[in-house]
Amino acid sequence: MTADPTARTTGPARFSEERSAEVVAASFAGTPDARLGEVMTALVRHLHAFVKDVEPTVDEWAAAIGFLTEVGTACTPVRQEFVLLSDVLGVSMLVETMNNRADRGTESTVEGPFHLVRSPARELGADIALDGKGEPCLVTGTVRGVDGTPVPGAAVDVWQANADGFYDVQQPEQQPEGNLRGLFTTDDEGRFWFRSIVPRYYPVPTDGPVGRLLQATGRHPNRPAHIHFDVRACGYRPLLTHLFVADTPYLDSDAVFGVKDSLVREFPTVDDPARAAEVGLPNPFRAVHFDVVLRPETPADGA
């Protein structure tokens, strides 16, 4: 039964510094949605503990609310400053990792804000570097299930920054639309391959309140060089992950904590004119191989 909201509160049920969390949490006791009630109760418990730990002044609390307000107003249809805040606080990676616990299958990582557009469908072997800038690179791999079975017909969506560290959507005037993006379909043996360039490290957007937070706390904004992968196939769990370049700076200090050792690969130089001609790249070129293992859709299938 819901408590009578007009009833007077006295004694131990009244708000006090000591019992603040308990009293406020009790106000959610009648939440019809049990999960929402559980979440709000935990939020109150942790938030009150945080405030008691930090003991903010009134001005500091107003500044905190002002900061969150700015984070909200910085959001647009193509910019999500709250996600960026969650990213730099490591919460995006924590949620991602907790929801993809697996001892088999390729590890996941954050999606990031630049998967804004559906990548253009391209033929296997296509060159996604439409602006012709950067160090040419061949990317190859196979999509398999956890039992090793190749997955033909899997959708492999890739996107990456250019040689200057910018995504096409950040530089609509300088980069062709769809630059360094491609949606590939694996062949009968589950293989994919495409031509690209070696990506460069780059900073997360720093021109908003989250950038100011990084600066005020002496943190750098950079992410190590990577290629994003979104891999999907019928009967398998979708996978959002990155392929990291082994010799990139910032591998040990990613601004969004996205690096997992299992996702780091060498990009060796191949000096082989015949192979270069075969794959349609100038000699020498860099090459990387990234096999992807998808977990089955239902854990009962062996995830």
Residues at the contact surface with Fe ion, assessed by CB under 5 A: 112
CB of 204 to ligand BEZ, least distance (A): 4
CB of 113 to ligand BEZ, least distance (A): 5
Residue 112 as a binder of ligand BEZ (CB under 6 A): the answer is yes
Of the pair 143, 204, the CB lying nearest ligand BEZ is at 204
Residue 157: both structure tokens together: 């969506």
State the pairing for strand pair 181-185/155-160.
Answer: antiparallel
What Cα–Cα distance (Å) separates residue 20 from each residue in 10, 56, 182? 14, 16, 53
CB of 101 to ligand BEZ, least distance (A): 21
Residue 22: both structure tokens together: 């308990």
Residues in binding contact with ligand BEZ, number by CB under 6 A: 9
Q: Which residue is nearest to ligand BEZ (CB)?
A: 112
Of the pair 244, 285, the CB lying nearest ligand BEZ is at 244
User: Other CB atoms closer than 10 Å to residue 263's CB: what's the count?
Assistant: 18
**Residue 256 near which of Fe ion, ligand BEZ, none (CB within 5-8 Å, type-dependent):** ligand BEZ
- 55, β-bridge pairs: none
- 185, β-bridge pairs: 155
User: Other CB atoms closer than 10 Å to residue 41's CB: what's the count?
Assistant: 19
**Residue 204 near which of Fe ion, ligand BEZ, none (CB within 5-8 Å, type-dependent):** ligand BEZ
Exposed/middle/buried for residue 265 (C-beta within 10 Å: 0-12, 13-18, 19+) = middle
Q: Which of residues 197-236 bind ligand BEZ (CB under 6 A)?
A: 204, 223
Residue 87 as a binder of ligand BEZ (CB under 6 A): the answer is yes
Of the pair 190, 199, the CB lying nearest ligand BEZ is at 199
Q: Which of residues 238-297 bind ligand BEZ (CB under 6 A)?
A: 256
Of the pair 131, 187, the CB lying nearest Fe ion is at 131
Nearest CA to 179 out of 142, 140, 129 is that of 129
- 241, β-bridge pairs: 229
- Interaxial angle between packed helices 81-88 and 91-98, expressed in degrees from 0 to 180 and rounded to the nearest 10: 80
- Could you identify the residue written with the tokens 């780091």? 264
Residue 110 as a binder of ligand BEZ (CB under 6 A): the answer is yes
Site residues, ligand BEZ (CB under 6 A) = 84, 87, 110, 112-114, 204, 223, 256
